[in-house]
Structure 1
Amino acid sequence: MMLLVASVAGAASAAAAPKVVSINACTDQLLLTLADPDQILGLSPYARDADRSFLAAEAARFPQLSGEAEEVLMLKPDIVVGGRYTKRATRELLKQMGQRVAEFDSVKTIDEAKAQILQMADLLGHPERAGAAIARIDAAVTRAKQAASNTRLTVLPLARRGWVSGRDSLISALLDTVGLGNAASGLGLQRGGFASLEAVVALRPDFLLISEDSDFAEDEGRAFVLHPALQRFYPPSKRITVPERLTVCGGPMLADALDRLTEELIRVER
């Protein structure tokens, strides 16, 4: 009798698991990590972008949506998850139509990323799954700290066209976690901004942090990072490469981002 009751309760719990649509690339990642496959009705237009989505291959199993409110409403999800800066008109229309919308902020710290993992796991009815994802991040933090030097080296996160991630960013939080300093403060960039080639060369951080190690400049944006002046002072041994898909969102993939940072710290010259 007890087994029968437990079986019925388990079936009822599974039946009650909410069906969800994601309209944001970062909530895609959380959903793919924490949901049962049959809970996912659709993902954002960028879910399969291998450059920005850590789980692009897994996302291919699910419908890729345009992100428009009408398309979402046709699927009749229990919950729509998205970023607080996802198209406001779409979010407001969904709410006006009585749709439950859960909004997630952009994260700037590891603690904020952990909080979002907990939030998504609770929404999905799987709070126990958050613990494993958070434990992976904590373990990666420990490994990365062990790899960092006792000397606080400076790193400049440099992207296309000279974009620098400032102190108020997730990239900076990852660097701080492993005992590295974001050199962006020397450029007066708190939240981030564009820096000239001359300013970067004059700053002379210990390392550059880039998102790809290819030596091919497919356009002017990429050519900035490959400029001869930067290559002279920052050969591969002075460049730390962490793919953008590991850091564009704050989610379970931060464990992989930290492990990649650890590998790079071991590789480069110090």
Structure 2
Amino acid sequence: MGAVACMGLASAAPVPAALRIVSINPCIDAILMRIADPGEIAGISHYSQDARASSIPLEVARRFHATSGTAEEVVALRPDLVLSGPHVAPSTIAALKRMKIRLVQYPVPDSVEESVTQVREMAGAIGHAGRGDRLARAIAAAARPVAGDKIPALIWQGGGLVPGAGTLSDDLLARSGFRNMSAAYGLKKWDVLPLEYLVARPPRVLFSVGTAEAGGDRLARHPAIRRLATQIAVAPYPARLMNCGGPTIIAAMARLRAVRKGFGR
């Protein structure tokens, strides 16, 4: 799945010689860092300069001007191209259309294949198809499925939010040697699983999102989980690995594979 919207210049228009790109999405920021020249990046999302949300090193993100994605901020940067996720404020869309500034929106990828396609399309849109191809191949190599039995697992976010079938997280779990137990609880694509249900039918591995950043694993210390210590292995899973495709897949697969190795074949 590639870009879902394109406004302003036609998609087949030639790329300007001195392209100015503004990204208003942190996941796109991470891709741009790998496929664009630094001088082409006129602005990035303010989320990328927040340690809790960034998918790129903060020291890298802080080299670039950041915006909150408002029409005034984006237009002031005089971009030739604005890249975003699926959700953009109507006022920003209207302003870009009025100024004849091209906007391309990308959906959240639900699989490695969709993310690889997005990387290639984005690289082509900014005139760096070769870099996009190299990054796409690196992502595909990192996400190559591992052999062995599938270990029952679950990714658990704050409030019990769980990614289910049809999500990128589900695809990465399967590729790294796990079986997402979301379906076993009858959960939807994104759903909330009460702790009581988790305890009644525990997975072998519970990836607890955000605990590393919080300075400790609160879920692992929960009395109900501690009583199941011989049945559940709680593994911290950084929140920055949850929400993005692109090069984030490489880091996410490395984390998942490292945990899977602890269970042998």
TM-score range, shorter chain: 0.7 to 0.9
Are 2:31 and 1:30 aligned? yes
Correspondence for 2:136 among 134, 151, 156: 134
The AA in structure 1 aligned to 2:226 is: Q
Q: Quick one: distance in 1 between partners of 2:165 and 2:180?
A: 7
Are 2:111 and 1:113 aligned? no
Correspondence for 2:238 among 243, 263, 266: 243
Aligned-residue offset at 1:215:
10
Aligned-residue offset at 1:134:
1.8
The AA in structure 2 aligned to 1:240 is: A
The AA in structure 1 aligned to 2:131 is: R
Number of equivalenced pairs: 251
Q: Is the 8 A contact 1:155 1:205 kept in 2?
A: yes
The AA in structure 2 aligned to 1:207 is: V
Question: 1:43-58 alignment to 2 at 5 Å?
Answer: 43-55=44-56, 56-58=58-60
Partner of 2:257: 262
Aligned-residue offset at 1:253:
2.0
List alignment gaps of at least 5 residues for structure 2.
Answer: 1-13
Q: Quick one: distance in 2 between partners of 1:104 and 1:111?
A: 14
Describe the shift of the 1:39–1:215 C-alpha distance in structure 2 as closer, same or farther (beyond 3 A).
closer
Aligned-residue offset at 1:131:
2.1
Q: Is the 8 A contact 1:163 1:195 kept in 2?
A: yes
Aligned-residue offset at 1:239:
2.2
Aligned-residue offset at 1:268:
5.1
Q: Deviations over 1:4-54 (max 9, x none)?
A: xxxxxxxxx997142100111111111122110000001112011223222
Describe the shift of the 1:70–1:171 C-alpha distance in structure 2 as closer, same or farther (beyond 3 A).
same
Compare the two structures and name the one with the higher strand fraction: 2
Aligned-residue offset at 1:139:
2.3
Are 2:130 and 1:95 aligned? no
Question: 1:58-69 alignment to 2 at 5 Å?
Answer: 58-69=60-71
Q: Quick one: distance in 2 between partners of 1:24 and 1:215?
A: 21
Describe the shift of the 1:108–1:120 C-alpha distance in structure 2 as closer, same or farther (beyond 3 A).
same
Q: Is the 8 A contact 2:220 2:234 kept in 1?
A: no
Aligned-residue offset at 1:75:
1.3
Q: Is the 8 A contact 2:212 2:238 kept in 1?
A: no
Q: Is the 8 A contact 2:112 2:140 kept in 1?
A: no
Q: Is the 8 A contact 1:162 1:225 kept in 2?
A: no
Aligned-residue offset at 1:237:
7.3
Question: 1:160-239 alignment to 2 at 5 Å?
Answer: 160-214=158-212, 223=218, 226-234=221-229, 238-239=233-234
The percent identity for this pair of structures is: 32
List alignment gaps of at least 5 residues for structure 1.
Answer: 1-12
TM-score, normalising length: structure 1: 0.84
Q: Quick one: distance in 2 between partners of 1:238 and 1:19?
A: 47
The AA in structure 1 aligned to 2:255 is: R
Compare the two structures and name the one with the higher helix fraction: 1
SS in 1 for 2:183: helix
Q: State which structure, 1 or 2, has the greater radius of gyration over its C-alpha atoms.
A: 1
RMSD, aligned α-carbons: 2.6
